[in-house]
Amino acid sequence: MTAARPETDVLIDADLIAARVDELAREIADRLPPDLLVIVVLKGSFMFAADLLRALDRAGMTPTVDFITLSSYGAGTTSSGTVTLSRDLSEDVTDRTVLLVDDILDTGRTIAYAADLMTARDAKAVHSCVLLDKHEKREVDIQADFSGFPVDDVFVVGYGIDMAHHFRSLPYIGVVRQD
């Protein structure tokens, strides 16, 4: 028998997420070419990326998609400070406009690593879109070009974001209760 998982409190509900994703797609469509290459940073951003890609399609864009797996957390709840690449792209980024899609911009190390990697591989332009921005945790001087929601320095879960591989399936962004 497995132990009951902790309860969560809703921080950002599913309807608010859906509305903001549609807004982000319109912002992106207004600023970037329709045939951009969307690079999804796995694993936490997969739900956000899927919804964003559908919204980009509704906004008239025709992006291609690839995936990269980067991590600085592992199974823990604090960043190790080192970004590791465990799954690389299959697409060539040379002379392409790239949109990096990630779940959370906190320390900035992961998105900076990915942006530097795409630049080194001769991408024409590299932009970033994140669902959540924990600005107060920033350790690298980087800002997202497109950002869903600012959040305080709390450990969030849901909508693809996990805590030790749990809570990804929640339809909202929540905070684990510390009862």
Secondary-structure percent of the chain, ordered helix, strand, coil, rounded to 5? 25, 30, 40
Rounded Cα distance between 133 and 147, Å, is 7
- By DSSP bridging, strand 97-105 and strand 37-42 are parallel
Single out the catalytic residue among 51, 102, 103, 106.
Answer: 106
Rounded Cα distance between 51 and 18, Å, is 8
Q: Is 92 a catalytic residue?
A: no
72 token code pair? 């600085």
Helix axes 14-31, 46-58, angle to 10 degrees: 60
Active-site residue list: 106
